[in-house]
Structure 1
Amino acid sequence: MGGGEWRRVVVGVSGSPGSLAALRRAAREARRDDAELLVVLAWEPPGGDLAHGRSICPLPVADLRRDAGSRLLAALDTAFGDAGPGVPYRGLVVRGSAGRALVETADRSDDLLVVGAGWRGRVCRALFPSVARYCLAHAVCPVLALPPSPLYRELASVRRRVGLRLPLDARELTEGRP
Structure 2
Amino acid sequence: MESRQQEHGRIVVGVDGSESSQEALRWAVRQAELTGSTLTAVTAWEYPPGSIGRIDEPRELRTSLEQAADRGLSDAVRRAVRPGAGPRVETVVAYGTAAAVLLDAARGADLLVVGSRGHGGFSGALLGSVSRHCTAHAPCPVVVVRGTGQPAQER
TM-score (norm. length: structure 2): 0.77
Please give the per-residue CA displacement for 1:114-147, whole angstroms capped at 9, x wherever unaligned.
Answer: 1110289985689xx6111010011010000012
User: Quick one: distance in 2 between partners of 1:94 and 1:119?
Assistant: 17
Q: Which has the higher contact order (CA 8 A, sep 6+)?
A: 2
Q: Percent identity?
A: 36
Q: Is the 1:14–1:75 contact (alpha carbons within 8 Å) kept by the matching residues of 2?
A: no
Give the number of the structure whose residues are more often helix, by fraction.
1
Equivalent in 28, 31, 51 of residue 30 of structure 2: 28
Which residue of the partner structure matches residue 96 of structure 1?
A: 96
1:123-162 counterparts in 2 under 5 A? 123=122, 130-149=129-148, 152=149
Unaligned runs of 5+ in 2: 1-5
> Cα RMSD over matched residues?
3.2
The one-character-per-residue Cα deviations of 1:47-71 (angstroms, maximum 9, x if unpaired) are 4375743x7x685312211111111
Q: Distance in 2 between matches of 1:119 and 1:61?
A: 22
Q: In structure 1, what residue type is equivalent to 2:142? A: V
TM normalised by structure 1 equals 0.68
Structure 1 gaps of 5+ residues are 156-178
Contact 1:76 1:84 in 2 (8 A): no
Computing the radius of gyration from Cα coordinates, the structure with the larger value is 1
CA distance in 1, matches of 2:22, 2:79: 8
- The aligned runs of 1:10-21 (5 Å cut-off) are 10-21=12-23
